[in-house]
Structure 1
Amino acid sequence: MTASTSEASGGADDGATARRESFKEIALRALSTAGRAVAQLASGLNTALLAALLLLRLALTAVTSVVGVGLLAAPASLRALHALAGRERARLARWGPEVVAPQPPPTRLRAALVDPTTHRELRWLLRHSTLGLLLGLLGVLLPISAVRDSAFPLYWTFMPENTTATSLGIGNAHTWPDALAVALLGVGWIAIILGLTPGMARLQSGPGRRLLAAGPDVDLSLRVAELTATRAAALDAHATELRRIERSLHDGAQNRLVSVAVLIGAARRMVARDPAGADELLERAQSAAEMALAELRTVARGILPPVLADRGLAGALSGLAADCAVPCRIDVDVPARCAASVEATAYFVVAEALTNIAKHSGAAHATITARGTGDRLVLRVEDDGRGGADAEGGSGLTGIRRRIAAHDGDLTLTSPPGGPTVLTADLPCGR
């Protein structure tokens, strides 16, 4: 009875420790995400201030153009617009995926009036100099207010009487309860920073990513450049797979087969003088051959899983869900078969996603959804884990992205601190 009680107590302690560690990891991820978002908002404030000044300059140029003076300054203003847009693309690339620039837009006024790239840059300028400027100011002022109000009890006794106590510019502190109330306001600022700044950063950068990227009406050479990059990614992924297969064969099956050859040779030399020893060597050789065969089957499944040909994508994904260490629900509705290479990519994407869930997420449940819609195959893998996955980091996610890029597909990862994590892959069926 005592031993059982001790074991139960030990299990409870382990569970509490695991919960504390999980909470600590979530808190650290939230702080890291919020810190990155604040830094991104502050960097956006720099270009937003420049955008506001440039917008004022363009407005003056437009007004003075009525009398002809502004026409002389129009090319310089357009060059300043294009330069600022390029600076914003470089800034966005530091905080996320690269924004592919279109062909250099014209600087002559008549050509710029009908140029779609210049129109998009002007729309971005208007949004970034207003909403982007406001968000950047909030991103800078919120941390200052949080530090000021949170630390208020440490210095309020040294402040002159009737001095405003809060960063909002209202209220006075005359007693310790008043000072602690200001500190609670500082805690509120911290909660706002943790909860809202990641969304604010995305809202600030959204217009730039949409309007400053190469649009659908750009020159065909941009599409050629994109396809060239996609082909390079596909070749890199192919080379990586070849290295993995070569390493698996060299380190696994080849060594086993060498061992089989050595054991059989030794058994042949011993069969006349020591039949029992020769029989033992042959038994070891048989075991090594069976292990080599198992490793060869594993390598073959890594190239193209036979289950795809036998049971289709639905059966293959069901097998992955059954083998996953985390309980997994599957929902597949793909009426028609896709190309074999697309189904193989979908299989490996889900396999890698489930491996990441089992290793890193701490999830209690996962869901796989596959939908065939027209000529597209949409995969969605969701878990209820701790979140905080980095879309740009990790060899697993990089491999998934390369596989999908090889088919000209799209990958989206949403993983806020605390979860849930949702990975969505959109692939052409390629029938």
Structure 2
Amino acid sequence: MLRRAGARAWWGFKWSAAGLGTSMAALLMTAVGAAVAALSLISVGLFAVRPYLWLLRCLADLERRRLGAIGEPVPSPYMESPKTLREALRTVVADPTVRRDLGWAASHGTFGLLVGAVAFQTFPNAVRELTTALWWRWVPPGEATLFNDLIAVDDQRTALLGLLTGSFWALLALYAVPWLVRLQAMPERRLLGPESETDLTARVAELTATRAAALDAHAVELRRIERALHDGAQNRLVAVAMLTGIARQTVRDDPGNADEVLGRAQDAAETALAELRGVVRTILPPVLEDRGLEGALSALAADCPVPCSVSVDVSARCPASVESTAYFAVAEALTNAAKHSGATETAVTVRRTGSELVVEVRDNGRGGADASEGSGLTGILRRAEALDGKAAVSSPPGGPTTVEVRLPCGS
């Protein structure tokens, strides 16, 4: 428990120090903003508006990254930076994100600075006051103090009081600093994020794109099934019908050769049946229903020409659509690795992270895969988007290639 508290204290001290730095920069930006506004009244400050807005956005984005690192992600509300002075002036007047950034700078430069200063000083104060009894004699008179200079240390008895005050600071560092970091972030989540209407508009646009991706994926899948049936099973069934007709005629005209023709018809029927089973498996593999995702992926790995390891860390079954998408993403990635990468080994990792199923396929091939070229990787991206998920392909020249798919699967 003490080790965990120490790790949390170090986490809090680290991010409170970062927050203290951004709060001081925000206070400076607030002062500079007031100066720019005052000088703009006499037209001198107008030329500083555009660079000031750029600096303010950079600082706000830096703070958003800090918030994301402490588990308080805030999406950026910006559309596009102003390119001219006229656009900058129009942005100041019409864009609510500018006013929210200015409000954040004032808030973070005051309230955030105060909270950050309190959090940041706990650790050094604890170390200094716990050791005061060891060094107070070696500093000039009046230099050794306790509790932020409220208590002067002028004898050993007072110095020993540092054990009490230092313990107080240590308890604050262990248990209060992580809470102070969260407290500092509370107004920032509201001011740095997009407005509710803007957020809703972005979500509607995202869902519209997701719906279009789902429809496209559905249409592509229907075309694939139609081609598989038309070019494969249908041709086999036509051959069965023709051979059956030939066999009937042979029975009447040459009964001795009828058995050979019937055998050919039977072979064609079995081939057509096998192709139909193959098409059915590509729609929803029965192995997923029978053995679950881990068993289905193990079967894929066993059939892969490239040696493949599988690691699945999923405690409960996911929705059928999620498992099916994960299965086909792995199948397509392994097929690409076997055909194009020149890899000698591949690895499939599946894990549940919160409400997401994360699928990662990695190979040690030559790299250079590009999902924008309409390859099977594009199909992986579309399948993921159809479920409101995300997919990313990392394949630098020389490898390795990593395909990562994230699929929402409920809490």
SS in 1 for 2:343: coil
Structure 2 CA distance, aligned partners of 1:391 and 1:80?
39
Structure 1 CA distance, aligned partners of 2:361 and 2:288?
19
Query: Residue 367 of structure 1 aligns with which residue?
Result: 347
Structure 1 CA distance, aligned partners of 2:32 and 2:389?
45
Deviation at 1:109, TM superposition (A): 7.1
Query: Residue 208 of structure 2 aligns with which residue?
Result: 228
Deviation at 1:413, TM superposition (A): 2.0
User: Are residues 109 and 342 of structure 1, via their aligned partners in 2, closer, same or farther at CA, if it must alter by over 3 Å?
Assistant: closer
Deviation at 1:282, TM superposition (A): 1.2
Kindly indicate whether the alpha-carbon contact (under 8 Å) linking 2:77 and 2:97 is maintained by their aligned counterparts in 1. Answer: no
Query: Which runs of at least 4 in structure 1 moved beyond 6 Å after TM superposition?
Result: 59-62, 78-82, 117-120
Kindly indicate whether the alpha-carbon contact (under 8 Å) linking 1:413 and 1:423 is maintained by their aligned counterparts in 2. Answer: yes
Q: Which runs of 5+ in 2 are unaligned?
A: 1-30, 58-75, 82-89, 106-192
Residues 46-95 of structure 1, C-alpha deviation per residue, up to 9 Å, x if partnerless?
A: xxxxxxxxxxxxx999645325526797699569979xx9xxxxxxxxxx
Structure 2 CA distance, aligned partners of 1:110 and 1:215?
11
Query: Residue 369 of structure 2 aligns with which residue?
Result: 389
Query: Residue 401 of structure 1 aligns with which residue?
Result: 381
Residues 124-156 of structure 1, C-alpha deviation per residue, up to 9 Å, x if partnerless?
A: xxxxxxxxxxxxxxxxxxxxxxxxxxxxxxxxx
1:69 aligns with 2:36: no
Q: Which residues in structure 2 correspond to 1:22-421 (within 5 Å)?
A: 63=35, 65-69=37-41, 102=79, 106-108=91-93, 111=96, 113-115=98-100, 218-421=198-401
Residues 312-335 of structure 1, C-alpha deviation per residue, up to 9 Å, x if partnerless?
A: 000000001001110011111111
Residues 186-217 of structure 1, C-alpha deviation per residue, up to 9 Å, x if partnerless?
A: xxxxxxxxxxxxxxxxxxxxxxxxxxxx9686
Structure 2 CA distance, aligned partners of 1:332 and 1:425?
14
Deviation at 1:412, TM superposition (A): 2.2
Deviation at 1:385, TM superposition (A): 1.2
Residues 17-42 of structure 1, C-alpha deviation per residue, up to 9 Å, x if partnerless?
A: xxxxxxxxxxxxxxxxxxxxxxxxxx
Query: Residue type of the partner of 1:223?
Result: R
Structure 1 CA distance, aligned partners of 2:310 and 2:283?
24
Kindly indicate whether the alpha-carbon contact (under 8 Å) linking 1:363 and 1:386 is maintained by their aligned counterparts in 2. Answer: yes
SS in 2 for 1:292: helix
Deviation at 1:386, TM superposition (A): 1.4
Query: Residue type of the partner of 2:260?
Result: E
SS in 2 for 1:302: helix
Kindly indicate whether the alpha-carbon contact (under 8 Å) linking 1:327 and 1:364 is maintained by their aligned counterparts in 2. Answer: yes
Structure 1 CA distance, aligned partners of 2:215 and 2:94?
43
Query: Residue 425 of structure 1 aligns with which residue?
Result: 405
User: Are residues 348 and 393 of structure 1, via their aligned partners in 2, closer, same or farther at CA, if it must alter by over 3 Å?
Assistant: same
Kindly indicate whether the alpha-carbon contact (under 8 Å) linking 2:77 and 2:194 is maintained by their aligned counterparts in 1. Answer: no
Residues 230-262 of structure 1, C-alpha deviation per residue, up to 9 Å, x if partnerless?
A: 110111111001001001101111111111111
User: Are residues 260 and 72 of structure 1, via their aligned partners in 2, closer, same or farther at CA, if it must alter by over 3 Å?
Assistant: farther
Q: Considering only aligned residues, what root-mean-square deviation do their CA atoms show, in Å?
A: 3.6
Query: Residue type of the partner of 2:297?
Result: L
- TM-score, normalization: structure 2? 0.57
Residues 372-419 of structure 1, C-alpha deviation per residue, up to 9 Å, x if partnerless?
A: 233221111111111222243342111000000111112122222222
Q: Which runs of 5+ in 1 are unaligned?
A: 1-58, 86-98, 121-213
SS in 2 for 1:272: helix
Structure 2 CA distance, aligned partners of 1:409 and 1:341?
12
Structure 2 CA distance, aligned partners of 1:68 and 1:287?
88
Report the structure number with the largest CA radius of gyration.
2
SS in 2 for 1:244: helix
Structure 2 CA distance, aligned partners of 1:71 and 1:109?
20
